[in-house]
Structure formats: structure tokens, C-alpha cells
Amino acid sequence: MPGLDRVEYQPVDTPSPPLLELKDLVTVFPTRRGLVRAVDGMSFAMREGEKLGIVGESGSGKTVTLLSILRLVPHPGKIARGEVLFQGQNLVHKARAEMRKIRGKEIAMIFQDPLTTLNPVFTVGEQIRESMRIHNIVSSPDGCFSGLFRRGKRSAEYERVIRVMRDVGIPSPVTRARNYPHQFSGGMQQRAITAIALSCEPHLLLADEPTTALDVTIQAQIMDLLNKINREHGTSIILVTHNLGLVAEFCDTIIVMYAGWMMEKGTVDEVIEAPKHPYTQGLLRCLPHISEKQEKIYPIPGLVPDLAQLPPGCPFSPRCDQARPECREDRPIPLTELDGGRLVRCHLYVR
Amino acid sequence: METSAYAKTPVDRLTYSWRVRLRLMRRNFAYFLTELRRRPLALVGGIVVLAYLLAAVLAPHLTDHDPTAGNLRQRLLPPAWEDGGEAAYPLGTDDQGRDILTRIIFGARISLAVGLLSVGISVAAGTALGALAGYWRGLLDDVLSRFADLLLAFPFLIFAIGVMAFLGPGFLNLIAALTFKGWVEFFRLVRGEMMAEKTKEYVEAAKVVGQSHPSIIVAEILPNIIQSVFVLGTLRMGYMIIMEASLSFLGLGIQPPTPVWGSMVAAGRDYLLTAWWASTLPGIAILILVLSINVFGEGLRDILDPRLRIE
Amino acid sequence: MRAVRVLERVLITIPIMFGVAIVVFLFMRLTPGDPVDIMMGQGGAVTTGEIEQLRHEFHLDEPLPVQLWLFLKGAVRGDLGYSYVQKRPIGELIGERLPATIELAVGALFFALLVAVPIGIVSAVKQRSLVDQISMAGAFLGTSMPAFWLGIVLILLFSVRLRWLPVQGRIDYGTELQQVTGLYVLDSLLTRNWTALISSLRHLVLPSVSLGAAAAAIVARVLRSSMVETLRQDYITLARAKGQVEFLVVMKHALRNALIPTVTVVGLQVGALLGGNMIVETVFSWPGLGRMVVQAIFERDFPLVQGAVMVYAFTYVMANLIVDILYTTLNPKITL
């Protein structure tokens, strides 16, 4: 994509504690047909300023991972096991009131379809301001009279709203703040949602397929915006998508998911040039190369499995061309760490 | 010869569609029954409604008492389970000495008849007019729609009472009053669906083949619309029965001594302090019937809704 | 922009009202039988001369369109004609009884909303819980019960057996009340007449409940399904992701959206309330317009029936207008 520059990321030199660390996270949904393990053993660590991409097909558990971090998994789903350490604190066991303080302020989220994510009955400005109100971002000025106090606070909030809107690139924010969501175009709506997410200057931004519902040209703009946020504010970003190309351009690190399992993790360069897991290899094989002449396209044979009725062992084994007998045994497959911090969950690499 | 061979496929499709549709209907019916069994509440509702229907039809055979003439020496007897009650009059007697249970059973005839007829005619008229208006649009549609809007400016009961006031009491007048406002809902429903269906491809196909307009409407489009009409009709039936009871309660419906639930309740009002059963029990009969109809109707809607196009 | 929309809606009601008047008028004129004969049936023997004179006086000898025109002219000015039976102008009669009817309708609406809104919200939030199932079962019952029967049962229970509430009328016999608006509850508040306030409230309870029960049931069901639908939306998840308190997520974000289709249904229910009004007034001997109409029908006082029907229709149209305006206020998409 044109106009997209990437910050060179050096993982090893900066030994700062990880911003976010997931340890063996398991999130389940009890359904009529059986227990669905939407996220089964997700583990990774993420640093400040890092851009992590989580890739997988629909239903692979990517969105649920994000929701689990914020503890917004819809009923009847719940986090069954594991830890989510944010700045060293385990979010899984935090009290609800404390969790609310984190949502929106420390960790913010943007969703896939901007039109349905914005509340149609409130103005955009109001929705941005609500975020600030909830977390009391704007402190009261030194006025002593309560009337002045409120007015001062209101105008300070208002200014901040305009500033955030300008930051995300919404033109004429003063008029636009009074508009309703349906009066915005798709790209503008997504910017508005990003504005909401940014209004409290979070440390971590969770982006769930933010560009899937938009045109390609608008996609580029939004990714530009996310890049800018990461660069200027140092905000870490987790980008969830099924678009490998997007991840390749934008992210520093990549995690590949399949049927709720975390299959592979590594830097983008490593994973794309030398994929270790058969599934990743299959994915990359599917992509036609624009520069080479290709005779055939090689899709991965078979279909994504029903999460309620997974086969024993590795969920990818039915479609894997390198499957071995132990891949179908009903025991957990450990996450093997290779050199350079690469992680793979596959019997091929288990010592 | 080539043209007819070419045109043969759509025509055959249209002829076959009748037989195929019949087979589908039979299969759908079996499916319908299984689905109903999965919803015990709706099933119970349906059974109760059937019980009422049977009781209404077999009324004279079910009891020995006369619904219209009573024994004044037996007036205002309490139901059998209270002291003073007699087994011969299980639900007690009214102020004229008539057995309440008998009157309730005979009353079912009127209520069900009114309910079925008024809904039936409303459905027929509303569907017919709605289909025509939706299909042809233009002046017919404008006139009918404006008229429907105008009728909607009146609350249902007000309109019915107004009509009854001017026409006078009686069975036919009652039906007329209820139908006069009732068709509007079905008119709008069918008109809306007709306008949506008209743009679909199978209608184009039928026209290309040269099928006549009435034939298209009846054979092609209506079977698709029929289900929502049916569901709405079931749900409205309970409402019509309550309307009839209300009008009879006010004395505007069927006149005594014909046993009608509404007027039974009204008559019992004078004896509320001493003979509560005279008013309460007929009302319970209404309640159970309408409740069963509603429950059944809801179940029906549940079954039919996600599969509105069984093709 | 919104003002234009509102004006549009107001203007549309005018032709509707004309249409209503015409329909009512035609109905009366098209009934079999000579109106004068029917009306004179009340009095004793009347000479032919007097009949002719009356016919002339009430313009019955003129062609139909002229009668219609005169009728409409009068209606616009508030002159709805004359009741031969009660020997008073109809406008006056209606004016006397209208406040009672309005008070009952408002009471019923108030009860319906008071019950339906919390139930709708709670049932939606706690779907499939015990509260939900009981509420929905209750709602089913509510729509299956005839209002007159409910009224009678309530009387039996609360007035006869328990003796908590009075059986009929608007206020205890002998209580003094200075009338300002004709709405007893309001008047007693305005004049700080506490005995009258309590008395009128006690009388208002059972009729309001009887009349409002069905409406409450329907509104509760609609609100519940609307809320369930709304709570599934993405913007609700976003609200939570912002860190918003759950209470506000439901009451501010969800409710505002869920109310939009509900308001339309409430409008329709007002019509049902106006209709059921007649029945409940009869059951509770409430001195309102409804009871007067019912009596008028039996007394064959057709002009009165006609006038009252018109007033009812007019009220319904007005109520729908208010609902329409409310709808445009709630739904920002409509301003365009």
C-alpha cells in the first residue's frame, strides 16, 4: 500500500517489561452442541509501542481474544483459564469497577463495522465526550463557583473533543461534532471511532478488523492513521484481521490462529519469509504473487472445522499435509520456542 | 414449433407447480405438526381451541339444560363446589335460573362464529383489495389507501360502536361492524407484500410466458403471501372475540335471551355482591379461549417465521 | 428543518379531520329511517306541522351536500348540533364530560407506562430469567383479558372482598372540590385539597388498571423485544469498551434506541385506550364521555353519538400527532 511507512522494531535491545502478557488464556462458550473453546491456550508478550497482528480465518478466535483482554466476552462465554497481565496486573481477576477504569482509558478498542459501532441517536461529538466524561479526563479548572466550574469544564472537554477529531483527520471538526453518525461516510465513521478510542490516550489499542468494511483507498488512510498514532503517541496496537497483506505492511509481530489455537508467532519478516507451521505455510501458498507468473493457486484442502466438534489432537491435522500419527492424539501440544523468540505449536518442532 | 418448445419450460413449470405445491403442502403439514409438538405450550393452546370448537358444534348434545329458558326457583345457585351448589348445575345458575355451564357452551357458538366470520371476511376482503392495490397501483391504490388511512383515524371500538349504534343490534350487524374496520390491517399487509413480490423474477417469468394477470396473482404470488396473512389472522381472532364480547357487554351486540358471554357478564353485574359466579365464570371462558388462541398464534408465528418461503 | 416536518404533520391532520367528519355525517344520514321520526319517537303525539317545522329548523329538508356543508361549518366553530333527547347543545354536553374521560385515559396511560417500561427493560436485560418468564406470561394474560371482565374482577376483589377501594364514581360522595380544569386529581393538587386528592386517586386506581392492563401488556412486550434487539448491537459493546457503567449502558445507550419503535406502538395503544374507555366507564359508572355515548345509543340520540364519535376521533388524531412529533425527536435520522 502506498504511503505506509513502518517503524523499525528492535525486540531484543530494549529489555523493558512487557505491556501486555497473555499466559495460556482459554475462553469457552457453552453451546447446545457442546463446549466451544474459542480461544485455547493463547500466550504471548507484547512491548510498549509494538504493533502485533493476529491473523486467522473467521471463527479462529481472533476477536474473542481481544474481547477476553477487556473482559467483554458476551454471555454465556467466559474466561476459563489463564492470565491476562496488563502492566503486570492480572485483568482476569480484577474487580468490575477497576476493569471499567481500564476500559477506554488504558486499553481501547475499535470494531469492524463503523456504522453499527456508533450509537445512531447521539452526535459524534457527544460520543467522544462521553469517553472523557467517564474517565474524568478533563480536570476542573481552578474556578471556585460551581457554575463557572461546570462551564469551564465543559468548554475544556469540548476543546479536547475538537482536538482529537482533528488528530484523526476529520475535516471541519467543529461542525462535524454536532453531526450524527449516519451523516458521516464510512471512512469518517471509522475515524470517529478511532477518535473515541484515542480520547483518553490509551496505552494499548485493540483493532478488530478496522478496515474490512471499507474501500481499499479508505483502508490505506485508516492504516496511515493507526501508524501515526503508534508513532506519535507510542500507543501499542493489536491488529486483528484475516488479511495477511495488511499485517505484512503494518505490523512488527504476527500471531497465526486456527480454530482457537495459537499456531505460530514471530516477527513479520521471519514468519512470512520462513513460515514454520504447516497452516502458515498453506496460507502463504494461497496468496498469488504479483511479480511472478503462476500456473495454479494452491488453496488449503478441506474446510474450517466446527468448533463444537473438533477432532482430537491438533485441529489442523485433518487438512495438514505434514501430519503425523501423534498429531491426532488427544493430548495438548506445547508451544515450542525456537531461536529469536519464534513460537510454534506443532509436533514437527517438539523435541 | 421451436417457439413453443422454447416456451415450454416456463409453462410446464407453471403447470407442474400446482402438483408440486400440493405435495409440498402435505409435506409441510407434517413438518408443521412436528414443530408444533416441540412447542408444548402452543400445542396445548391449539388443543384447547379445538375443544372449544367441538363444544360449540356439539353443544346440544353436551347438556340437558335449556340455555334460554330457566327455572326461576333455581336462580342464582352457586357453583357445585360451594355450599348451596348442586351437581346438576356445575357452574351455578344465573338470575333467570339458567345453567351457566350450558350457557357458556352455547355462548361459544356465537363467539367462535363471530370470531371466525369477522376475521375470515376481513382477511378475504383485505387480501383481495390489498392484492389488487399492490399489483396495479395507480388510482385504485390511491383511493383505497386513502380510505384505509381515514378508517385508521378511528379507534377500533369507537368505530364499531358507532356502526352498531346506527345499524342496530344483531348478528349480521355485529359482523359488519367488526369487518368494516378489520379489513384495513390485512389490506396493508397484503399490499405491502404484493409490492415487494411484484419485483421478483418469477413474476417476470410468468408475464413473459403470457400468463394472465389474475392467474399470476392467485397462482404465483398469493401462496407466498398467504402465510403472513394466516399468522396475522390467528392473532387477530382473539382480538375480535374480545371486541364482540365487549360490544355484547354494552348491550350492543347480540341481544338476550341468546346466550352470549359478554351479555352474561353484564347481566351478572347486578348480583356481584351475592352471586359472583354469574359475571366471573363467563369471563373466564372468554379468557381461556382468547389466551389459547393467542398462545397458539404465537407458536404458529414462531414456526412459520424463519421459513416464510417454503419452496 | 425539524420545524418544517412538524408543521407538515400538523397540516396533514386537517384533511383527516374533515374526512372523519364526513364519514361520521354520512353514516348518520345513511341509516334507514327518517331522523326526525326516530327522534320524535321520544315525545308524545306531534302534529305534522310541527314535524315540518322541526325538519326545516334542522335543515333536514335541504339536499345532502348542503346539510354536509352546514354541519362542517358548525363543527369548525365548535357547534356540534343539538341533542333532542337531553335538550341541550351537544358541545356543552361533551364539554362537561370530556375531562372525566381524559382523566381516565391519562390515568390508564400512566399506569400502562409505569408498569410496562420497567418490566420491558428488566425482562430484556435478564432474558430468560424468572422475572422475564413471569412478565411475559403476565403480558400474554393481559392481552387475552377483556377489560370489562378485569374491571369486574378487580371490583370483586378490592371493593367487595377487601373493601380497600371504592366501587364507582370519581370521588367520595359529599367531598367538596373546586374545579379548575375538570380533572379532579389535578384540581385537588392545585387547590391543595388533600382529602379530595386522596379520594379522587382512590377512585381512579381500579378503572385505570382495568383500562391500562392490555396496553401495558403490549407495550411491555414490544419494549422487551426492541431492547433485546438493541442490546445485541455493536454500539452497546463499544459503550462497555469505553468503560461505561452497565446501568448507563442500558438506560442511556440502549433505551434511547429501543424507545423509537416502542413509541409508535404506544400511539396505537392510545386508540385502544380511547375505545376501551367506553367499556370501563360503564363498568365503574365513571361519569365520562364514554358512558354518555352508550346511554345516548340506547336513547337513540344520534346527534350526540355523532358528536361524541367525532370528538373521540379528533382526540385520537391529536394523540397520534403528538406521538409522531415525539418520534421525530427521538430518531435523528428523520430530520433529513
DSSP string, B265-290: HHHHGGGTTT-THHHHHHHHHHHHHH
Distance from the Cα of A228 to chain C's closest Cα (Å) equals 22
Question: What confidence score (pLDDT) does residue C215 get?
Answer: 92
Q: What are phi and psi of A233, to 5 degrees?
A: -105, -5
Using an 8 Å CB-CB cutoff, list chain C residues near A193: 238
β-pairing verdict for A20-31 and A107-110: unpaired
Question: What confidence score (pLDDT) does residue C208 get?
Answer: 92
Distance CA A301, CA C283 (A): 74
State which residue of chain C sits closest to B271, comparing Cα positions.
C156
State which residue of chain A sits closest to C127, comparing Cα positions.
A75
pLDDT at C109 exceeding the cut of 90: yes
pLDDT at A12 exceeding the cut of 60: no
First to last CA, chain B: 32
Mean pLDDT of chain C: 81
Distance from the Cα of C316 to chain B's closest Cα (Å) equals 7
Does chain C touch chain A (at least 3 C-beta pairs within 8 Å)? Answer: yes
pLDDT at A213 exceeding the cut of 50: yes
pLDDT band at A205 (very low <50, low <70, confident <90, very high): very high
Using an 8 Å CB-CB cutoff, list chain C residues near B162: 24, 27, 305, 309
**Nearest C-alpha neighbor of A19 from the set A42, A50, A41, A43:** A50
Distance CA C146, CA B282 (A): 11
State which residue of chain C sits closest to A76, comparing Cα positions.
C127
Residue at grid coordinates 379530595: C196
A204 strand-pairing partners: A107, A236
pLDDT at A201 exceeding the cut of 90: no
Question: What confidence score (pLDDT) does residue C196 get?
Answer: 79
pLDDT at B13 exceeding the cut of 50: no
State which residue of chain C sits closest to A206, comparing Cα positions.
C241
SS3 of chain C: the string is: CHHHHHHHHHHHHHHHHHHHHHHHHHHHHHCCCCHHHHHHCCCCCCCHHHHHHHHHHCCCCCCHHHHHHHHHHHHHHCCCCEECCCCEEHHHHHHHHHHHHHHHHHHHHHHHHHHHHHHHHHHHHCCCCHHHHHHHHHHHHHHHCCHHHHHHHHHHHHHHHCCCCCCCCCCCCCCCCCCCCCCHHHHHHHCCCHHHHHHHHHHHHHHHHHHHHHHHHHHHHHHHHHHHHHHCCHHHHHHHHCCCCHHHHHHHHHHHHHHHHHHHHHHHHHHHHHHHHHHHHHHHCCCCHHHHHHHHHHCCCHHHHHHHHHHHHHHHHHHHHHHHHHHHHHCHHHHC
Mean pLDDT of chain A: 82
Q: Which residue has the higher pLDDT, A324 or B249?
A: B249
pLDDT-wise least confident of A87-96, A175-184, C301-310: C301-310
Question: What confidence score (pLDDT) does residue B310 get?
Answer: 30
Distance from the Cα of B199 to chain C's closest Cα (Å) equals 27
pLDDT at B12 exceeding the cut of 50: no
Q: Is A113 on the interface with C (CB under 8 A)?
A: yes
pLDDT at C48 exceeding the cut of 90: no
Torsion sign (Cα): A124, A126, A129, A133: negative
pLDDT-wise least confident of A101-110, B59-68, B109-118: B59-68
Segment holding A31, helix H or strand E: strand A20-31
Distance CA C290, CA C100 (A): 10
Distance CA A221, CA A187 (A): 8
State which of B148-157, C34-43, C168-177 shows the largest mean pLDDT. Answer: B148-157
Give residue-wise pLDDT tens across range C233-281.
889 999 998 888 888 888 989 998 888 888 888 888 888 888 888 899 9
Question: What confidence score (pLDDT) does residue B121 get?
Answer: 92
pLDDT-wise least confident of B204-218, B237-251, C25-39, C161-175: C25-39
pLDDT band at B288 (very low <50, low <70, confident <90, very high): very high
Distance from the Cα of A178 to chain C's closest Cα (Å) equals 12
Which A residues, 243 through 302, put their C-beta within 8 Å of a C-beta on chain C?
none
**8 Å CB contact of C152 and B265:** yes
pLDDT band at C1 (very low <50, low <70, confident <90, very high): low
Residues whose CB is less than 8 angstroms from the CB of residue C25 and which lie 6 or more positions away in sequence, other chains included: C67, C68, C71, C72, C306
pLDDT at A204 exceeding the cut of 80: yes
**8 Å CB contact of C145 and B279:** no
Distance from the Cα of B70 to chain C's closest Cα (Å) equals 24
Distance CA B77, CA B66 (A): 16
pLDDT at C334 exceeding the cut of 90: no
Residues whose CB is less than 8 angstroms from the CB of residue B75 and which lie 6 or more positions away in sequence, other chains included: B93, B94, B95, B96, B97
**CB C191 within 8 Å of CB C180:** yes
Distance from the Cα of C45 to chain B's closest Cα (Å) equals 24
Distance from the Cα of B154 to chain C's closest Cα (Å) equals 5
pLDDT at A306 exceeding the cut of 90: no
Mean pLDDT of chain B: 78
**8 Å CB contact of C242 and A196:** yes
pLDDT, average across residues B172-198:
85
pLDDT at A7 exceeding the cut of 50: no
State which residue of chain B sits closest to C306, comparing Cα positions.
B162
**8 Å CB contact of B290 and C20:** no
**Nearest C-alpha neighbor of A184 from the set A96, A120, A93, A91:** A120
Q: Which residue has the higher pLDDT, C170 or A189?
A: A189
pLDDT, average across residues A36-50:
87
State which residue of chain C sits closest to A123, comparing Cα positions.
C332
Q: Which residue has the higher pLDDT, C111 or A201?
A: C111
Question: What confidence score (pLDDT) does residue C195 get?
Answer: 80
pLDDT band at A48 (very low <50, low <70, confident <90, very high): confident
Using an 8 Å CB-CB cutoff, list chain C residues near A66: none
**CB A100 within 8 Å of CB C245:** yes
**8 Å CB contact of C312 and B154:** yes
pLDDT, average across residues C102-129:
91
Which chains reach chain B with 3 or more Cβ–Cβ distances below 8 angstroms? C
Question: What confidence score (pLDDT) does residue A132 get?
Answer: 86
Using an 8 Å CB-CB cutoff, list chain C residues near A109: 238, 241
Using an 8 Å CB-CB cutoff, list chain C residues near A111: 234, 237-238
Which C residues, 2 through 61, put their C-beta within 8 Å of a C-beta on chain B?
16, 19-20, 23-24, 27-28, 30-31
pLDDT, average across residues A45-61:
86
**8 Å CB contact of C144 and B161:** no
**8 Å CB contact of A70 and C241:** yes
Distance CA C238, CA A109 (A): 8
DSSP symbol at A209:
S
Nearest CB to C242 within list A103, A112, A116:
A103
**8 Å CB contact of A100 and C244:** yes
Segment holding A158, helix H or strand E: helix A146-167
Distance from the Cα of A291 to chain C's closest Cα (Å) equals 40
C-alpha cell at C19: 374526512
Q: Which residue has the higher pLDDT, C304 or A235?
A: A235
pLDDT at C154 exceeding the cut of 70: yes
pLDDT-wise least confident of B189-198, C24-33, C231-240: C24-33
Provide residues of C within 8 Å CB-CB of chain A: 233-235, 237-245, 253, 256-257, 260, 330-333, 336
pLDDT band at A294 (very low <50, low <70, confident <90, very high): low
Distance CA A261, CA B169 (A): 75
**8 Å CB contact of A131 and C235:** no
pLDDT band at A143 (very low <50, low <70, confident <90, very high): very low
**CB A243 within 8 Å of CB A216:** no
Q: Which residue has the higher pLDDT, A304 or C148?
A: C148
pLDDT, average across residues C142-155:
90
**8 Å CB contact of C27 and B166:** yes
pLDDT at A149 exceeding the cut of 70: no
